[in-house]
Amino acid sequence: MRRAAEVLESLRRHRATWRLVIGSATAGLVLAAVAVALTGPWDSGRRAAERAQAAEAGPGAPDSGGVTVPGAVTVLDPLDGSAPEYAPDAVRRLLEPALSDAALGDGTTAAVVDLATGETLYADHAGTGRAPASTVKIITAVTALNALGPDHRLATTAVWDEDGERVVLVGGGDPTLSADDLTALAERTAAALADRGADRVRVAYDTSLYPGGGERHPIGVNDNIAAITPLQVNEGRLDGSTHGPAPRADDPAADAADAFTEALAAAGVRVSGDPADRKAPDDAERLAVARSAPLSSLVERMLTDSDNDLAEALARHTALATGERADSEGLGRAMAAQLDDLGLAHDGVRVVDGSGLDRDGRLTAELLTQALATAADPGRPELRSALTGLPVAGFTGTLAGRYDGDGGDGGSGLVRAKTGTLTGVNTLAGTAGTPDGRVLAFAFLAADTTDADAAEAALDRAAGALAACGCA
């Protein structure tokens, strides 16, 4: 009896884990049934993008280790895709109680689209622009993936200025560059210098990838984002954290150059003087390079953690890929051009940053749902990580503390959505898998909220209602 009680207690404590397994499996089967390319984040026990990254890495690469997580066991048979289509009136009746909550104010807009049919099931001022907060990261994701491709990597490079007997650390716009990455780059650089017989060097760093070396986000100095520069280590964080608000370096590029210089010296290179901020010569020879994870993995990280620094970097790389300047104006033009290329109408939209921290940005619920539908198109697998990176309700990222499953939300493990929060602004956009086999894309933008916690709860109830919908 005691052993039985212990087992029951263990099951109770791990109830959330079982809910995730069942919810994720159900969502995955729903997606297969409707032939929508919404591959979940777990593929044989690994994130799909990480699996691709490991396969792409060559022998000896740091991410080429063996898989240690066992494959998931199939627990349900695939659905046959015969679930009845939903009635818009039923969806409207379902959503209105939550979306009419007084905490959302008077400025709420919303849209719901059936991903299998493309039919709009609900629209309330869906073409009216509202401040998107971090839901703009969905647009950052699909435009970056469209412009660059899911296998693109960001490169930080060490080059040799022979005339100046100088190593130049060239920033490649990778905010995920870690201290370990930088040390490894310095060690490879030291080996390349030894091959050339260079026993004493000077060091410089090049931030010319972005105009003026970078810029401050319009919100200014803030724990939510570092100075925007193409050269930084761990997003300029000073507390060792990897996501969320944190104190940031005043000059991340200079700090990165100092760390690189110290690592060079530790690797046996004699360095003269302090690092100088200067552009590398056009004919400089490459000594070594540090590459980021593939863009598909970066997009997943950006969406799951709501990574503002990474969002701004990806938006600027979208600008560079399309011949625009890597600044706030250039990224707006580039992202608009990519939306055109994807066939996504963006009337009423104003893209001013990649992160959503700028309150002057405007998105529509219609654009967000159409972007999600496009990412779910089986003919566009390159966009898939814009879906697989969305936080899972009750379990991952910015939704980990929501939908705990003990209340009436009904979306735990089945809602996957990007959150957005600014003062007076609460937004939520993503997908919901329903019990009878449909997958719905939704976007809720509330721009006049009076109580952030109550507004967040109202949006969660709306998305949870969709996940429990039997709206035929």
Q: Are 65 and 15 in contact (CB under 8 A)?
A: no
Residue 191 in this model has a pLDDT that exceeds 60: yes
Annotation marks residue 208 as catalytic: no
- As a whole-number percent, the residues of the chain with pLDDT over 90 amount to 71
How confident is the model at residue 8, as a pLDDT?
A: 31
| Residue 156: band (very low, low, confident or very high) from pLDDT cuts 50, 70, 90 | very high
Asked if 279 is an active-site residue, the reply is no
Tens digit of pLDDT for each residue in 104-123? 998 899 999 999 999 999 99
Show the tokens assigned to 148: 């660059």
CA of 75: how far to CAs of 26, 48, 128, 416, 451, in Å?
9, 20, 43, 21, 41
Output the pLDDT for position 244.
84
Is residue 444 within 8 A of residue 452, CB to CB? The reply is: no
Q: Of these residues, 137, 328, 385, 412, which one is catalytic?
A: 137
pLDDT at 17 over 60: no
Q: In 372-394, which positions are buried (b, 16+ CB within 10 angstroms) versus exposed (e)?
A: bbbbbbeebebbbbbbbbbbbbb
Q: What sign has the CA pseudo-torsion 160, 161, 166, 167?
A: negative
Average pLDDT, the chain: 84
CA of 197: how far to CAs of 158, 170, 187, in Å? 17, 22, 15
- Determine the straight-line distance between the first and last CA of the chain, rounded to whole angstroms: 46
Residues 6+ apart with CB under 8 A from 390: 303, 304, 416, 417, 418, 430, 431
In the block, which residue shows the tokens 């048979």? 77
Q: What is the pLDDT of residues 393-405, one digit of tens each?
A: 999 999 999 987 5
Residue of 306, 328, 385, 412 with catalytic role: 306
Predicted model pTM: 0.85
pLDDT at position 130: 97
Known catalytic membership, residue 137: yes
pLDDT at 65 over 90: no
Q: Given a cut of 70, is residue 22 above it in pLDDT?
A: no
Mean pLDDT, range 363-367, rounded to an integer: 98
User: Residue 437 — pLDDT band, cuts 50, 70, 90?
Assistant: confident
Single out the catalytic residue among 134, 292, 355, 412. Answer: 134
Q: How many residues does the chain have?
A: 472
Angle subtended at Cα 215 by Cα 209 and Cα 219, rounded to the nearest 5 degrees: 145
